[in-house]
């Protein structure tokens, strides 16, 4: 499990709407929910900045998720200028002076504009980096200055930009991956659950096949790494291979490529989920003890009914994670958002190339994280 001291530096300037400020806090909340919190794991601080800067709470103030999430709800929006340098100075002088020795130190700055004192921002960011803190910058909207974000981080890999505040959720897994100091010892068993019914259009089905090929290329396969099984479903579930049968990327990709869609069948997801709950992660299927268990569901979501949702909630209740992926047009997005264990575990691979590449990049980061340090 990761050990890190993380300070979020949150823009509260007058260029934001109050709802946008709240979205930033919600984003931080989703990060908190996705990591282990405590004195031996990840510690969180929040600094807000506008005319000046304020430490809302330091690294040691709250030691569990519930108290942190409650504290986030109490942070108030205070409009003003964009005094980024003041937040960077406070992070160095008041937050990371209490950081634990030997753990990763991260300052994650969210902003929608240029700093009001560019010269001091350059100075304060350099001083913070020189004290051993990695700076990650997230620029939101069209008013950001990319060069300034890059100057603060001194590392292109630690600069992220999104066009809207809602776009923050799409990079959450990337931020979580940066916060890891090492992979956990727990390995991952991944089950691909693919809709091969006639309700999944040919275009959607081919997109799902391509997505599975991409996911397989993202992860490390092996006896002490990730293992993969594949179940397809239409009116009935079919086990294509279990965790023991196929042990290399090339074999997995060959097995995926020859799967055909049953164009005349109707999807019965409830029946497929019952099969998964009874047979999917058993020792006879090659599933390992004390592993991270992940179901990757690929469908357009139209056949997800109340019974299927109950089955999925039962699977989540046993500690399994569900990643939901849909492709192309005419999909039931809201159904799939409800299915995914977390909002950042839902992906829609659309038809526009730019969007497709962006979503694929986020998927890559998520699966690297899932098979490393979830």
CATH of the domain at 36: 3.40.50.410
* Burial class for 275, CB neighbours closer than 10 Å (0-12, 13-18, 19+): middle
Instruction: Clarify whether residues 25 and 101 are in a common domain.
Output: yes
pLDDT exceeds cutoff 90 at 168: no
Q: Given this model, what pLDDT does residue 106 score? A: 96
Structural contact between residues 256 and 216, judged by C-beta atoms closer than 8 angstroms: yes
pLDDT exceeds cutoff 70 at 156: yes
Instruction: Clarify whether residues 95 and 231 are in a common domain.
Output: no
Q: Given this model, what pLDDT does residue 181 score? A: 58
Q: Given this model, what pLDDT does residue 352 score? A: 64
Instruction: Clarify whether residues 241 and 310 are in a common domain.
Output: yes
Instruction: Clarify whether residues 11 and 77 are in a common domain.
Output: yes
Q: Given this model, what pLDDT does residue 363 score? A: 82
Last residue of a domain, one of 179, 200, 233: 179
Give which of 357, 10, 329, 354 is closest to 165, Cα–Cα: 10
Place of tokens 């069948």: 265
Query: What confidence tens digit (pLDDT) does each residue in 102-140 have?
Result: 999 999 999 988 898 999 999 999 999 999 999 999 999
pLDDT (average), residues 347-359: 71
What's the CA gap between 198 and 234, in Å, rounded? 8
Mean pLDDT of the residues in the chain = 89
pLDDT exceeds cutoff 80 at 238: yes
Cα 2 to Cα 44, 104, 275: the distances in Å are: 13, 9, 34
Structure tokens at 232: 């397809």
Instruction: Clarify whether residues 100 and 153 are in a common domain.
Output: yes
Among the ranges given (30-39, 63-72, 91-100, 205-214), the one the predictor scored with the smallest mean pLDDT: 30-39
Instruction: Clarify whether residues 138 and 277 are in a common domain.
Output: no
Q: Given this model, what pLDDT does residue 355 score? A: 60
Instruction: Clarify whether residues 104 and 233 are in a common domain.
Output: no
pLDDT exceeds cutoff 70 at 184: no
Side-chain half-sphere exposure of 231, counting CA atoms within 13 A: 27
Instruction: Clarify whether residues 20 and 103 are in a common domain.
Output: yes
Q: Given this model, what pLDDT does residue 185 score? A: 61
**Domain interval for residue 236:** 188-370
Q: Given this model, what pLDDT does residue 344 score? A: 78
Last residue of a domain, one of 144, 179, 214: 179
pLDDT exceeds cutoff 70 at 155: yes
Number of domains in the chain: 2
Structural contact between residues 47 and 29, judged by C-beta atoms closer than 8 angstroms: no
Instruction: Clarify whether residues 143 and 220 are in a common domain.
Output: no
Instruction: Clarify whether residues 329 and 267 are in a common domain.
Output: yes
Q: Given this model, what pLDDT does residue 187 score? A: 84
pLDDT exceeds cutoff 60 at 141: yes
Last residue of a domain, one of 150, 179, 208: 179
Instruction: Clarify whether residues 36 and 143 are in a common domain.
Output: yes
What's the CA gap between 367 and 30, in Å, rounded? 17
Structure tokens at 368: 């690297």
Q: How confident is the model at residue 372 (pLDDT cuts 50, 70, 90)?
A: low
pLDDT exceeds cutoff 60 at 101: yes
Instruction: Clarify whether residues 40 and 165 are in a common domain.
Output: yes
Beta-bridge partner residues of 214: none
């Amino acid at each position: 499990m990761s050990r890190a001291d993380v300070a979020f530096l949150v823009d509260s300037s007058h260029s934001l709407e109050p709802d946008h400020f709240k979205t930033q806090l919600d984003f931080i909340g989703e990060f908190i929910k996705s990591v282990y919190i405590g004195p031996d794991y990840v510690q969180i601080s929040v600094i807000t900045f506008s005319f000046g800067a304020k430490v809302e709470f330091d690294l040691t103030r709250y030691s569990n998720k519930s108290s942190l999430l409650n504290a986030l709800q109490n942070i108030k929006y205070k409009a003003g200028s964009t005094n980024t340098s003041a937040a960077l100075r406070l992070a160095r002088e008041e937050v990371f002076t209490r950081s634990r020795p030997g753990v990763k130190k991260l300052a994650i700055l969210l902003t929608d504009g240029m700093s009001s004192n560019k010269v001091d921002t350059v100075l304060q960011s350099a001083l913070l980096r020189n004290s051993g803190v990695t700076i990650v910058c997230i620029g939101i909207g069209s008013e950001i200055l990319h060069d300034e974000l890059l100057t603060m981080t001194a590392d292109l890999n630690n600069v992220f930009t999104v066009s809207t505040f809602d776009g923050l959720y799409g990079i959450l897994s990337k931020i979580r991956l940066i916060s890891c100091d090492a992979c956990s010892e727990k390995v991952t068993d991944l089950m691909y659950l693919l809709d091969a019914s006639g309700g999944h259009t040919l275009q959607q089905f081919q997109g799902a096949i391509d997505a599975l090929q991409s996911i397989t290329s993202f992860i490390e396969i092996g006896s002490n790494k990730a293992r993969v099984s594949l179940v397809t479903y239409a009116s009935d579930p079919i086990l294509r291979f279990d965790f023991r049968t196929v042990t290399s990327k090339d074999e997995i990709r060959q097995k995926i490529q020859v799967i055909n869609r049953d164009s005349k069948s109707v999807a019965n997801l409830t029946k497929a989920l019952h099969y998964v709950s009874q047979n999917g992660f058993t020792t006879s299927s090659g599933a390992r003890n004390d592993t991270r268990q992940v179901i990757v569901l690929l469908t357009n979501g139209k056949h997800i009914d109340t019974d299927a949702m109950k089955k999925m909630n039962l699977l989540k209740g046993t500690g399994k994670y569900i990643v939901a992926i849909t492709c192309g047009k005419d999909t039931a997005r809201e159904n799939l958002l409800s299915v995914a264990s977390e909002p950042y575990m839902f992906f829609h691979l659309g038809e526009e190339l730019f969007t497709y590449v962006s979503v694929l990049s986020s998927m890559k980061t998520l699966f690297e994280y899932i098979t490393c340090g979830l």
